[in-house]
Amino acid sequence: MSLDQTAIFDFLRGVHPYDSLQDEELTGISGKFRCITCDAGAPVYRLGEVLDGLYLIVSGAVEVTDANGAPVSHLGPRNSFGERGLSRDGTAVTSAHALSRTELLLLPAGEFRALVRTLPAFARYFDRARPATPGVRDLAEMRVSDLMVPDPVHCGPDTPLREVAAMMRDARVSSVGVVAGDRLCGIVTTRDLATRGMAEGLGADAPVSQVMTAEPLTLTPADLGSDVLQLMLENRIGHVPVTVGGRLRGIVTQTDLTRHQAVSSAMVIGDVADAQNVAELARTTGMIPQVLAQLVATGRAHDVITRLITDIADAVTRRLLRLAESELGPPPVPYLWLACGSQGRREQTGVSDQDNCLFLHDDMQPEDDTYFAALAKIVSDGLDACGYVHCPGDMMATNPRWRQPVRVWRQYFEGWVARPDPMAQMLASVMFDLRPIGGDESLFAGAHADTLAMASRNSIFVAHMVANSLKHQPPLGLLRGFATIRSGEHKNRIDLKHNGVVPVVDLGRLYAIQGRLEEANTRARLQAAAAAGVISASGARDLIDAYDLIATTRLEHQARQIKQGAAPDNFMSPASLSDFERGHLRDAFVVVRTMQSAIGHGRGTVS
């Protein structure tokens, strides 16, 4: 193949991120590519080679395989590959060969790196690393779509004031949009009902058109948050409808702005500390979805967001423990309430069940369990009422098995390590994420370190945990990009929990066992594993970058659902992402699968 510069220029104009460049920039870049032709079966590059540069397929097809020859991707025209090796130490972590006669463009490594350094569009597309200090956006950087309440309450212009007032009461809102046909024609607030309705002697059956503000000032979802504040201050209004083409799409109120500035995990925790009963706690935890959506909108890192959300769960648990003690009296022996699972790792999102247990002092007598059974029920039922639903697997302190003296817990750990059958693997996986929440923390002192040391010395146990870490695979499809769920209510979606973050969580836990690392948080485990030499520095960087992207995508998906008034879940349609986002997410999954393959074949472990 021999494409001239004009032909390369024309081809690149239809490929992202080149299509975002100015013509003069694209002209310069098109002259840097080399043309390559590979026959069917010919290698493009091999595992461990120093890559020549960034490859871009013009025609034909390429198969990318992992270190063990397992296929990872089938790539076609306009797909790029090879850039992840270039972004690290320059060596390939996969292999690639042509499936048919294939025409490629090659951007040499030096030119590629120079473009990443000098062109923002290139840097955004090819550099997947999380910024060292993620920016937190203020109102000037946020969009109205981040602040507005979507699908606001609305009525027709002939609706009686009585009905409008009932709408406000039932929906607990302070304004209603007035829509004629499919167009916004006015807005009415509680103040309007009082000053223009009741104060003027209008009857309850008068139409809302008589008290509404006609043709109100509006903004669009794409406007800035600062535009809302400016509009409110200049015009002394407290409600701004959001429209698209005259159609009502949302509303922003002074309360929304106040919440953006004031609603935080710290505020929620303060309310938790003041709650006098479970009902008050439940009302407070009802704000968690709003807090999560706000934290995502402000651009904070995913591990910061999940830590702040988990802090609320910790505070709720401790408050329930205090409420239980006030009802039951002082405990007969010291105890420690511990969380495992996502709460133990400080990785809770908008969807969390509860996983917990009780360590009891060895002086405990059999009759003492009556007290602790009651305490466990009060706390567990309280957590359920607050949105932390009962564990489907009954991994809770209400189960007598998970409410035992310290000596029994040590026997549990020793047994799971010595006889690692599938059930032991599952239990060990959960219990390695234990974290004290409330009570006497001395009861857990040394237990974690002792168990890690015992586990890391048992090669059979480690081998079983390796196998366990490979049970959840990233949702990679060879031809269509992602392997989506084939049937049921989540058809054509990917599970960002079990096939997204869980594979990385499992790898992080395995590295912690191998390296005797006491960190429970997944990202902290990956960083500690790199520092301890459990995995290579480049492998850790790639895996952390991949985890950051997957976990952030999951939170952004949940935040979108919350803004739309839906309950958050972990099932995302790939179609909801742009081509740019899908490409990066798939690359992240490839990294995870590559690291799973390495650990499954005995590489990257410590002896």
pLDDT (tens digit per residue) in 304-353: 899 989 989 999 999 999 999 999 999 999 999 999 999 999 999 988 88
Residue 605: pLDDT band with limits 50, 70, 90: very low
CA distance 576 to 574: 5
Give the position of tokens 């702005």.
257
Give the position of tokens 């139409």.
207
Per DSSP, 386 falls in state T
Res 142 pLDDT > 80? no
Residue 213 pairs in a beta bridge with 187
Query: 67, 94 in Cβ contact below 8 A?
Result: yes
* pLDDT (mean) for 404-408: 96
How high is the pLDDT of residue 127? 62
How high is the pLDDT of residue 138? 62
Residue 85: pLDDT band with limits 50, 70, 90: very low
How high is the pLDDT of residue 42? 94
Residue 411: pLDDT band with limits 50, 70, 90: very high
CA distance 588 to 302: 15
CA distance 449 to 550: 30
Give the position of tokens 């549990």.
412
How high is the pLDDT of residue 265? 73
How high is the pLDDT of residue 604? 47
CA distance 73 to 96: 9
How high is the pLDDT of residue 93? 72
How high is the pLDDT of residue 115? 83
Res 160 pLDDT > 80? yes
148: number of Cβ within 10 Å? 24
446: number of Cβ within 10 Å? 9
Q: How far is CA 231 from CA 67, 184, 223, 235, in A?
A: 58, 18, 11, 6
Res 567 pLDDT > 70? yes
* pLDDT (mean) for 13-39: 86
How high is the pLDDT of residue 90? 57
* pLDDT (mean) for 234-247: 90
- List, in order, residues 6 or more apart from 601 with CB less than 8 Å away: 67, 68
Res 1 pLDDT > 60? no
Q: Where are the beta strands (DSSP E) in 335-420?
A: 335-339, 356-360, 403-405
pLDDT digit string, tens, across residues 471-497: 899 998 765 578 899 899 999 999 999
Query: 444, 338 in Cβ contact below 8 A?
Result: yes
Better-scored residue on pLDDT, 77 or 185: 185
Query: 316, 280 in Cβ contact below 8 A?
Result: no
**What type of residue is 239?**
H
Q: Which two tokens stand for residue 537?
A: 């520095």
* pLDDT (mean) for 365-375: 97
Bridging pattern class, strands 571-572 and 213-214: unpaired
* pLDDT (mean) for 209-228: 90
* Long-range Cβ contacts of 204-207 (<8 Å, 24+ apart): 204/160, 204/161, 204/162, 204/165, 205/160, 205/161, 205/162, 206/160, 206/161, 207/157, 207/158, 207/159, 207/160, 207/161
For 67-76, 146-155, 235-244, 541-550, which range has the lowest pLDDT when averaged over its residues? 67-76
Name the average pLDDT for the chain: 87
How high is the pLDDT of residue 581? 86
Residue 86: pLDDT band with limits 50, 70, 90: very low
Better-scored residue on pLDDT, 602 or 413: 413
Task: List the one residue out of 495, 476, 496, 599 whose CA is nearest residue 549.
Answer: 496
How high is the pLDDT of residue 137? 56
How high is the pLDDT of residue 261? 58
* pLDDT (mean) for 390-401: 94
Query: 156, 206 in Cβ contact below 8 A?
Result: no
How high is the pLDDT of residue 264? 64
Show the domains of the chain with their CATH numbers. 5-126 (2.60.120.10), 139-260 (3.10.580.10), 305-445 (3.30.460.10), 467-600 (1.20.120)
Residue 410: pLDDT band with limits 50, 70, 90: very high
* pLDDT (mean) for 270-288: 90
Q: How would you class 603 by CB atoms within 10 Å of its CB: exposed for 0-12, middle for 13-18, buried for 19 or more? A: middle
Per DSSP, 578 falls in state -
How high is the pLDDT of residue 606? 39
* pLDDT (mean) for 576-599: 88
E strand or H helix at 102: strand 102-108
Res 289 pLDDT > 70? yes
Res 263 pLDDT > 60? no
How high is the pLDDT of residue 140? 62
Q: How far is CA 585 from the centre of its chain?
A: 12
* pLDDT (mean) for 261-268: 66
Q: How far is CA 581 from CA 191, 442, 578, in A?
A: 45, 46, 5
- % helix, strand, coil for the chain, step of 5: 50, 15, 35
Res 279 pLDDT > 80? yes
How high is the pLDDT of residue 133? 45
Res 573 pLDDT > 90? yes
pLDDT digit string, tens, across residues 107-125: 988 888 888 777 776 776 7
Task: List the one residue out of 342, 351, 339, 430 whose CA is nearest residue 380.
Answer: 339
Res 565 pLDDT > 90? no
